[in-house]
Chain A
Amino acid sequence: MRQEKIRNFSIIAHIDHGKSTLADRMLEITGAVEKREMKEQLLDSMDLERERGITIKLNAVHLNYTYNNEDYILNLIDTPGHVDFSYEVSRSLAACEGAILVVDATQGIEAQTLANLYLAIEMDLKIIPVINKIDLPNANISKVKEELKNVLGFKEEEILLCSGKTGEGVKELLDEVIKRINPPKDNTSKQTRALIFDSAFDSYKGVVALVKVIDGEIKLNSEIKMMANGSTFQVTELGVKTPKEKKMAKLVSGEVGYIAASIKDITKVEVGDTITTTDNPATSPLEGYKKMKPMVYSGIFPVEQNKFENLKEAIEKLKLNDAALTFEPETSDALGFGFRMGFLGLLHMDVIIERIEREFNIEIIATSPSVIYKIIKTNGQIEMADSPKKFPSSTFISTIEEPYIYTNIIVPATYIGPIMELCQNKRGIYKSLDYIDEARVNMHYEIPLAEIVYDFFDKLKSTTKGYASFDYEICGYKQSNLVKMDILLNGEIVDALSIIVHKDFAYQRGKTIVEKLKEIIPRQMFQVPIQASIGAKVIARENISAMKKNVLAKCYGGDVTRKRKLLEKQKEGKKKMKMLGSVEVPKEAFLNILKDGD
């Protein structure tokens, strides 16, 4: 019985609570990686992940561990901590029987501790609470223990202590994983069903799918079938990640591993789909994941129009293992051909934009993010608009509804006042306030998502000096008094700069935006007026005065080459600009107008 010796588990935590470091120690203790090969946050394979110190993509690794003289296989599935990637978390949790809940001994419970824990409970996983970073001088173990007991309902004896940094308690933690988490069920005799929880493209192997075999088994050379689209492939390689890929002859019920089958067409492999085999076919697929709907939309345009096809290809590749990403072609008078892309949140958007620019080397312009508005027209029809461009003329609009979120804002109680003020300014509706202990509270508001997209994170951070943690879930649509605001450059509307704004905030926002644009857009050969307008009414205006000097200085000594280089450098700078009519606009203008000046 292979299954009894297998444990599939995840580590879940709030961002920065030491999840990746703890995973590093587990890799080291189990000998999966020798110490000399060890680099920090080994499972964060993207440069972007290491640089930002965040986990974006999940990653599965197969560890060998001996407990009571018996050999076990531990499949550790790493998960992202940020709210935008809770989708990834639920994907990895679906492949597990248990989860380690990591809480920082110096910080205590934070917003995403709760969010991720609820996801795990929903999936019926066994939870092992562990207090991490106990080596730190300011660790307050007894206080965090109280929080785990009082807020989350754990029992004293369930709570483990460890330090991912020193390794203290990590071995005991692994022992508890074996003791407390159930082995996967042995369904080897059933019809084959394997859940695809992630995939990636390899130039040599084609699409590589990460799977958990729930029922039956998959062998090398067997013919597999994707249940969503019926296409079949022959398995060319399968195995486990240790974290290097280790080839195996088969994967059986309960095991987590990878499968490659020379699949060239990336659209054939859908995350959440079920793989079966043609010799032992299943009749019905596994229950996939609930599809995550994008919440934030932005227009993505290549700076150079001839890169449109490259952009399309890049987005398709990213979509391969990021099912939440959506895109459709979009055309802008100002920016040409591009895509309207949907993201789970702002961080998700940031990460995708950066990946397109870095991994595919395509310079892009992203327009201000928008949420999806529900427009009830005067004729009773309902339209969903994910872009200001899709708004019908105001005469046809009866009412507009916008999505609201329900917040968990965990802060020291001393910040209750400032947070209330912030939320009020962001059109928030107060719901309730829970005390985590006498010093910390969890504040619940309903706030329009559009305000979160605007600058809520930055404001929250500065208001609380970084002490707040924040998480949210969508809680439905509410009617709002919204208007479309256009931005005019040199008298012409720039469609890519239009935004939807609450009427009461329009003047302030318009003023901020034109001031910001004045800062970002360099001086041109002529004076350029910048206006914000609602319909035909101009509500804010600034002028960029004409450029007065741009000339190469002394040309003596005859060093023409050097002068030429200076000119070429200016030319390169211009290439990064977008011509809107006769005005050169840097690409930052399209996104930065959203960020407040202060």
Chain B
Amino acid sequence: MTKKGVYIHIPFCKSICSYCDFCKVLYNEHWVYDYLRVLKDEIEDIYMGEEIDSIYIGGGTPSSLSVKALNYLLNLIKKFNIKDLKEFTFECNLNDLNEELLLQLKEAKVNRLSIGIESFNQEKLKYMGRNHNFKDAVAKINLCRTLGFNNINIDFIYGFSFEDVKSVKKDLLTLLKLNPEHISTYSLMIEDNTLLKIRNIPRIDDDTDALMYEEIKKILKKYHYQHYEVSNFCKEGYESYHNLKYWHNLEYYGFGLSASGYIDKIRYTNTYSLTKYIKGNFEKEKIILTKKDIMDNHLMLGFRLMEGINVLEFEQTYHERIDKCYPINPLLKNGDLILKKGNIFINPDKIYIMNEILLKMI
């Protein structure tokens, strides 16, 4: 996995979800074209021509684009040097899915859809500022399958104050009827500058949160999903190839408003201001990483994976032994970490408090 990935951010949404703190604005046709033109400039400016084998178009809501705008966006992909495209993910809003869009995506070689369903609990949907129902979802997912999309991720959110373990279980079981290949599940965070924060909506206490997480893990295990990252589950062989690049601390480009990339030991993040971006001022905030930073990141990211970090790979990459650079051994001894078949990973019982363990190391 030495080839680079590409992330492209589409910051437009038809409506704004109350919990979302990603960078987004309400859809505006006029801005969309300005935006896409600058996006083209940015790619031409920054991209060095290396071989690319994964693409992730996220947002925002990429599926909110009109046919014409989407066509423009998908044409930009042709600028990349692609020989063997392993994964091409496109984020969709359930309501945007239709035959025309899906065929357009198929044509452009999109092979993975990520659909932000989040829940079927009507109260939750109301709080989130979303609306869809199970019946529609079944129809739309069936349409995707019919048109040949057989790698579908669905996001699932939990942890509203009015939820309990039982209602989370019920919600998840409904979602599982859609039989997605991949599930990303997150406990609700009340982030700054979100409607939930402004409305002062409380989140659930950590103890209940942890119980919900345990329940989710239990159910997904029963349904033969593999727990491969803190928040990510999949059927065998359906790990997200692109997202694994993040967790393996590998390099990727980030294009578009607020996008982050990691190229040549530099981690950069683009401006969050749409007006600046449209003026061609990407205002990249760049951090040149030291070897120590890179190794620290490797731990922070790698330990999110249930399989953890491969000791030999670490040594080959950095020419240092992981247990010489970090206090691994005492943590193996006290059961925070486990060493098995050449991999070191966080004790699965402690994965939900993994920051505590990270903080003992970096």
Contact = CB atoms under 8 A, between A and B. Distances in A.
A547 B357 CA distance: 12
Contacts of B267: 560-561
A343 B136 CA distance: 74
B231 A553 contact: yes
A562 B21 CA distance: 13
B259 A525 contact: no
Contacts of B354: 550-551
Contacts of B7: 557-558
A550 B186 contact: no
A558 B184 CA distance: 15
B353 A525 contact: yes
Interface string B57-77: 010000000000000000000
Contact of A551 (B243, B247, B355): B355
B352 A557 contact: no
B352 A556 contact: no
B58 A549 contact: no
B9 A557 contact: yes
B326 interface: no
A71 B22 CA distance: 74
Contacts of A556: 58, 184, 243
A548 B262 contact: no
Given A561-B260, A567-B300, A547 B206 contact: yes
Interface string A327-357: 0000000000000000000000000000000
B246 A567 contact: no
Given A525-B353, A550-B353, A567-B358, A557 B22 contact: yes
Task: Give the one of B231, B262, B355 with max A CB within 10 A.
Answer: B355
Contacts of A548: 206-207, 209-210, 352-353
A552 B191 CA distance: 13
A555 interface: yes
Interface string A537-569: 000000001011111111111111111100100
Contacts of B9: 557
Contacts, number: 98
Contact of A557 (B58, B187, B213, B362): B58
B260 A557 contact: yes
A549 B210 contact: yes
A55 to B, nearest CB: 42
Task: Give the one of A545, A550, A560, A562 with max B CB within 10 A.
Answer: A560
Given A549-B206, A551-B230, A570-B355, A557 B259 contact: yes
A35 interface: no
B304 interface: yes
Nearest to B59: A557
B301 A555 contact: yes
Contact of A525 (B207, B300, B350, B351): B350
Interface in B70-119: none
A190 interface: no
Contacts of B254: 557-558
A554 B231 contact: yes
B interface bracket (residues with beta carbon within 8 Å of A): 35 or more
B46 interface: no
Interface residues of A, number: 24
Given A525-B353, A549-B353, A560-B297, A555 B359 contact: no
Contacts of A560: 246, 260, 262, 267, 297, 300-301
Contacts of B210: 548-549
A574 interface: yes
A564 B249 CA distance: 13
Interface in A120-160: none
A571 interface: yes
Nearest to A568: B362
Interface in B1-50: 7, 9, 22
A304 B187 CA distance: 36
B60 to A, nearest CB: 10
A570 B304 CA distance: 17
A556 B300 CA distance: 14
A325 B296 CA distance: 46
Contacts of A549: 187, 206, 209-210, 213, 352-353
Interface of A: 525, 545, 547-564, 567, 570-571, 574
Interface of B: 7, 9, 22, 58, 184, 186-187, 189, 206-207, 209-210, 213, 230-231, 243, 246-247, 252, 254, 258-262, 267, 269, 285, 287, 296-297, 300-301, 304, 336, 350-359, 362
27 contacts: A548-B209, A548-B352, A551-B351, A551-B355, A552-B300, A552-B304, A553-B186, A554-B184, A555-B243, A555-B301, A557-B22, A557-B258, A557-B260, A558-B252, A558-B259, A558-B261, A560-B300, A561-B260, A561-B267, A561-B285, A561-B287, A562-B260, A562-B269, A567-B355, A567-B359, A571-B359, A574-B359
